[in-house]
Structure 1
Amino acid sequence: MAAEKILSGEDNNGQKTNQSFRNEVKHMLNGFQRVGLIFAAAFLACIVLYHAAFSLQIFSGGFSFSPVKPSQYSYSSSVTLGEIRKLENVLLKASMPEKTVILTTLNEAWAAPNSVFDLFLESFRIGNETLKLLDHLVVITMDEKAYNRCMALHPHCYSLTTNDIDFSSEAGFKTPVYLKMMWRRIEFLGTIIDLGYNFIFTDTDIMWFRNPFPRFHTKADFQIACDFYRGNPSDIKSNLPNGGFTYVKSNKQTSKFYKFWYKSREKYPGLHDQDVLNKIKHDPYIRKIGLSIKFLDTAYFGGFCEPSKDMNRVCTMHANCCVGLSNKVYDLNIILGDWQNYLSVRNDTRKLLNSSPWNVPNHCK
């Protein structure tokens, strides 16, 4: 009762207590309420931090991956978080320190023994300072047999599945399967960009003889090889690009560009990615997004269309302007032989070899 009288404002004699005392008691009770609220907030914060740390530990320790919605990285909502996680795990293992990888695609026909894939890997082994680049090569396989063959020969393989489409056989140029394969490639490369990786994409029918990085332009977002090069790396009008070899930096410009490129297939039905690129390279949208494009000199990045004329400078040779897998394999074997003949010449004599020493195209004529 004493306490009740104090709280009601009466003393032991039934008299009103001092007004200041009542205010002091109320102030004390308000203080208890504030302390309780602060304690509850601190407790909730600890719980949130604990769960955040636990989640981060799971993803960074197990997969080196930050959980995101699949749609953030993918052109297709059907791509699952598990597939994104698996892809980034492969990329992480193959990546150079600055998050750069080398990518190629492979199907069963090109992966068969003594076919294009074997020649591709051999070129890295006998090239000038190219063997170490195999550590950064990720092979994107289009079917199960290609994946199994890749795993038998190379440490970094990723299986890219596509529902209801069989990419295992040789795809004739501009056939429906060929077109779907090329556009699937553009879609996938856009995903690589959105994951934050720079990349060199190389067709598997390109032989690597030198490290290409010193020959790239330092201030360009998107660099591409040419079937025919007109002498000016910035000449969008005259240079005829070839999508089989590109060097792409991951940034906002290239992310927007690849989405625009992929979307443009709807405007130009029946055309493959390279032909569509020739259409859209003049589009005002390219200038609007600020994309810097450079075309690569065939003196360093040659092909059957326009061979490099100097083995002292050549970095890559592409079996372009050639139809038929057997024709490619035949002439690529010749190319490797020509390169080995070049290596057999003394270093001081090599500098004098400034005329074209290639014995191709042969079957690819």
Structure 2
Amino acid sequence: MTTPFRFDAADSAADMLPEAKVLHLRRTLAAALFFAVVSLSCLILFRDVNSYRFFSTFRSSYPLAGFPSIFPSASTDSNATSNEYPLEKILNDAAMEDRTVILTTLNEAWAAPNSVIDLFLQSFRIGDRTSRLLNHLVIIALDQKAFARCQVIHAHCFSLVSEETDFHKEAYFMTPSYLMMMWRRIDFLRSVLEMGYNFVFTDADIMWFRDPFPRFHLDADFQIACDHFTGRFDDVENRPNGGFNFVKSNNRSIEFYKFWYSSRETYPGYHDQDVLNFIKVHPFITDIGLKMRFLDTANFGGLCEPSRDFNQVCTMHANCCFGMNSKLHDLGIMLQDWKHYLSLPPSLKKLSVLSWRVPQNCSLDSLRHHGSPEKSAQD
């Protein structure tokens, strides 16, 4: 049996050399062996570092969806629940040439897949000249899960989340959480005006079927949709709905929003829409010269008062509705009705023979049965 070479060499040296030289040779061989071990360790370490750098580069350069087991921390990345850019940049990126943006708010209850937000975005995609407006839509997330979902489905998202204002659950009408949410929204919109941006605010349970901008009043500072429209654009007896409005940024509108927000203390326990009904006739509105207009339900309808003509409708709101499931059902019917209208030849469209098949589950009978409508972050 042949022994390893190094042991033969050592034994041969021991036979041929004096004792001192043998000791010197053994020390030299030991040093050489130590150097070889250290060099090999460094080589392995260098390779591991380079491997780590490679995977780090790979991780930052490619989507992680296909590698959940390799990078389990990706789903908890802090960037998924915090703003990458300040509000000013997000608004600027989304703004039209005249500094107008479209804003909606979203919480977890409406952000789930196949929920309200998906129907909302679908209406833009199938509407008449509305798909391009998605470029100008900013979704304001009221909780972390809503923000994370927004980042998956839309380009412009802003997180309005804090420990005091995390509205992830469906907020029931007139509960403290609901009131806080509505007033938080008014204060946020005031800040957008102060930054010099005009905005269309829209609840996410409003279907956008046609470009609304040609239907807006050119001379108005503040114009708002209605649950009931009396037939006159300047009639304060109209019943406004805060879920849809177009506001121009100027000193008048800014002062109006400040007054509106401060009036929550004058009328404690009321939500923003009720307070608007109180203050719309206040002398302060005349003093600041605010031009307020009310939008016709023929163009901006809802389940309270549906738009009567498919050729004129711009938006339809799932207002006067109790419960998430009822809202989703009737919104789905709205989209089906609109698709049917789009499929008609021009000659039949002009006849205006179609009518909405809603409300169904959102019937006024259901409201009377439950006592008062249930509303969430967007109502």
Range of TM-score over shorter length: 0.7 to 0.9
CA displacement at 1:163 relative to structure 2: 2.8
Q: Tell me which of the two structures has the higher relative contact order, counting C-alpha pairs closer than 8 angstroms and 6 or more residues apart.
A: 2
1:145 and 1:83 map into 2 onto residues whose CA distance is 13
Percent of aligned pairs with the same residue? Answer: 60
Shift in CA distance, 281/84, structure 1 to aligned 2, threshold 3 Å: farther
Which residue in the other structure is 2:32 paired with?
none
1:328-343 maps to which residues of 2 (within 5 A)?
A: 328-343=327-342
Whole-angstrom CA distance in 2 between matches of 1:261 and 1:293: 13
**Secondary structure, counterpart of 2:138 in structure 1:** strand
Match of 2:371 in 1: none
**Shift of residue 83 of structure 1?**
8.3
Corresponding position of 1:199: 199
Do the aligned residues in 2 keep the contact of 1:321 with 1:364 (CA within 8 Å)? Answer: yes
Match of 1:98 in 2: 98
The answer as to whether partners of 1:173 and 1:323 remain within 8 angstroms in 2 is no
For 2:281 and 2:207, locate their aligned partners in 1 and report how far apart those are by CA, in whole Å: 30
- Alpha-carbon distance, 1:323 to partner: 1.8
Q: Which amino acid aligns with 1:205?
A: D
Structure 2 Cα separation of the partners of residues 292 and 83 of structure 1? 35
Q: Is the 8 A contact 1:309 1:354 kept in 2?
A: no
* RMSD (Å), alpha carbons: 1.4
Distance in 1, Cα, partners of 2:180 & 2:84: 21
Aligned to 1:358: 356
Measured in 2, the distance between the counterparts of 1:103 and 1:300 equals 19
Match of 1:273 in 2: 272
What is the CA-CA distance between 1:281 and the residue it aligns to? 0.4
Structure index of larger Rg: 2
Give 1:9's aligned residue. Answer: none
Give the whole-Å Cα distance in 1 for the aligned partners of 2:252 and 2:165: 31
Paired residues in the alignment total: 282
Partner of 2:119: 119
- Following superposition, which runs of at least 4 residues in structure 1 exceed 3 angstroms of deviation? 82-85
- Whether contact under 8 Å (2:116, 2:328) holds in the other structure is yes
Partner of residue 139, structure 2: 139
Q: Which residue of 1 aligns with 2:14?
A: none
- Equivalent residue letter for 2:244: F
Residues 287, 140 of structure 1: CA spacing in aligned structure 2 closer, same or farther, 3 A cutoff? same
Q: Secondary structure at the match of 1:243?
A: strand
The equivalent residue for 1:297 is 296
> Displacement of 1:246 after TM fit?
0.3
Q: Is the 8 A contact 1:312 1:354 kept in 2?
A: no
Alignment of 1:32-111 (within 5 A): 86-111=86-111
User: Which stretch shifts more, 211-220 or 162-171?
Assistant: 162-171
SS in 2 for 1:331: helix
Equivalent-residue separation in structure 1 for 2:255 and 2:187 (angstroms): 12
What are structure 1's unaligned runs of at least 5 residues?
1-81
Pairwise CA distance, 1:325: 1.2
Name the CA shift for 1:315/1:278 in 2 (closer, same or farther; >3 Å). same
Distance change >3 Å, CA 274–CA 364, structure 1 → 2:
same
TM-score, scaled relative to structure 1:
0.76
Shift of 1:322: 0.7
Residue type of the partner of 1:92?
N
Code of the aligned partner of 1:131: S
Counterpart AA for 2:117: F
**SS at 2:351's partner residue?**
coil
TM-score (norm 2): 0.73
Q: 1:144 to 1:85 in 2, by over 3 A?
A: closer
What is the CA distance between 1:268 and its match in structure 2? Answer: 0.6
In structure 2, list runs of 5 or more residues that go unmatched.
1-81, 364-379
Question: Counterpart in 2 of 1:174?
Answer: 174
Mapped to 2, the partners of 1:330 and 1:175 lie a distance apart of 24
Query: Quick one: distance in 2 between partners of 1:224 and 1:140?
Result: 20
Cα gap change, 1:339 to 1:247, in 2 (>3 Å): same
Distance 2:345 2:149 in 1: 37
Instruction: Report the residue type matching 1:142 in the other structure.
Output: L
Mapped to 2, the partners of 1:223 and 1:290 lie a distance apart of 14
> Structure 1: how far apart are the matches of 2:322 and 2:269?
18
**Do the aligned partners of 2:83 and 2:158 also contact (CA within 8 Å) in 1?**
no
Aligned to 1:21: none
The superposition leaves residues 29-77 of structure 1 with CA deviations (integer Å, 9 ceiling, x where unpaired) of: xxxxxxxxxxxxxxxxxxxxxxxxxxxxxxxxxxxxxxxxxxxxxxxxx
Superposed CA offset, 1:207-231 (max 9, x none):
0000000000010100000000000
Measure the CA separation in 1 of the matches of 2:251 and 2:353. Answer: 41
The question of whether the paired residues in 1 share the 8 Å contact of 2:142 and 2:165 is answered with: no
Superposed CA deviations along residues 145-200 of structure 1, whole A, max 9, x for unmatched, are 00010000000000002333430011111111011000000000000000000000
